[in-house]
Amino acid sequence: MDCHYNVYGCFREPSADIELAKRAVDAGFGGIWIGDHFLPWISSRPYTHHILPWFGALMNEVPDVPVGTSVTCPMLRYRPPLLAQALATLDSMYPGRFHLGLGVGEALNEAHFLDDWPEWGERAAMMIETIDLLEKLWTADEYLEFDGEYFQYEGIRLHTEPKASLPIHWAAWGPTSCTLAGKHADHLITAASPKKIREKIIPPYKDGLSTRGRSLDDVDVTTEVSINIGDPDELVQEIRDRGEYVPHDQIDSTDPREIQREADDRLAAMSDEEIRTKYNITDDPEEVVRLLREYERAGVTRVLVGSKCGDPHETISVMEEHVLPEFD
């Protein structure tokens, strides 16, 4: 199982995230990923970088390792051909390094740019069409016409072409999205517990893969996992003080302040032990090794480790010495 690092893109200035990425790679993490938000999930998070200029700087400063989005919505806020052009440009300069994690979008990021907010099923259909359009643009050597249900273009092509393929990872949690990931994307990306991945994500994903004659041996299953190493009491209190909680059932809200109020209420109702468990807060690196082994046994091939509290450099240093060597 590969261990990559997730800077998240919402806790530090853009340049600080690049320095953090450098440290993570120096410590032995095999790649760097970042989220893509226009607004933060909760108002206590101080930053949301635009990922495209950030990736240009990152890939220049941090050579060789893979990089990726966890995740971006490729339509709605973006025009798919312009996103295709931007990513082709990155790959032309830094071939074979970019991984595109895609999701159907949240109202928080996308609805501000639309007249009406589509239901999940329509957004999923739009993303399937967008994947088709992106792949056609990345491989076409002639001008193309695209006449889809949601997107229509005449006489377009990319003149700066990618030099390698750009793998697409579909963000999936529920059974329908997991099946669609198997049918329409190269790989799957999620953020779930080992138990949920093993019991709820892998089975429908395998069903989707089988429709294309593929199996788990042909793909990557990637998950985000928050790991926070330090004094547990201090880190739990920091989570409370900052209101660091994302209530994912509030995804139809367009206002981080509204989501923050719900987050604060839920944190107030949680015990310290519940917070410690949710955020994998520990002062024992052996707990981290055991957790990552659970993910590996569940079928995960890549974890994206990031820290949501404490000093991320401390967590990286402890993992460098005690955790990453277990997964070489």
**Cβ neighbourhood burial of 152 (10 Å; 0-12, 13-18, 19+):** exposed
- The single residue listed with the structure tokens 């709820």 is 200
Percent share of the chain, pLDDT over 70: 100
How high is the mean pLDDT of the chain? 97
- Main-chain phi, psi angles of 68, to 5 degrees: -165, 170
Please say if the pLDDT value at position 120 is more than 90.
yes
Average pLDDT over every residue of 210-219: 97
- Cβ count near 212 (within 10 Å): 11
- The domain total for the chain is 1
Instruction: Establish how many alpha carbons lie within 13 A of residue 320's alpha carbon, considering only the half-sphere containing its beta carbon.
Output: 12
CA distances from 31 to 23, 25, 28, 79 (A): 11, 7, 9, 27
pTM: 0.97
Three-class secondary structure of residue 100 per DSSP: strand
> What CA–CA distance (Å, rounded) separates 97 from 177?
26
Condensed to tens digits (0 to 9), the pLDDT of residues 129-178 reads 999 999 999 999 999 999 999 999 999 999 999 999 999 999 999 999 99
What is the CATH number for 52?
A: 3.20.20.30
**Cβ neighbourhood burial of 156 (10 Å; 0-12, 13-18, 19+):** middle
Domain that holds residue 262: 2-327
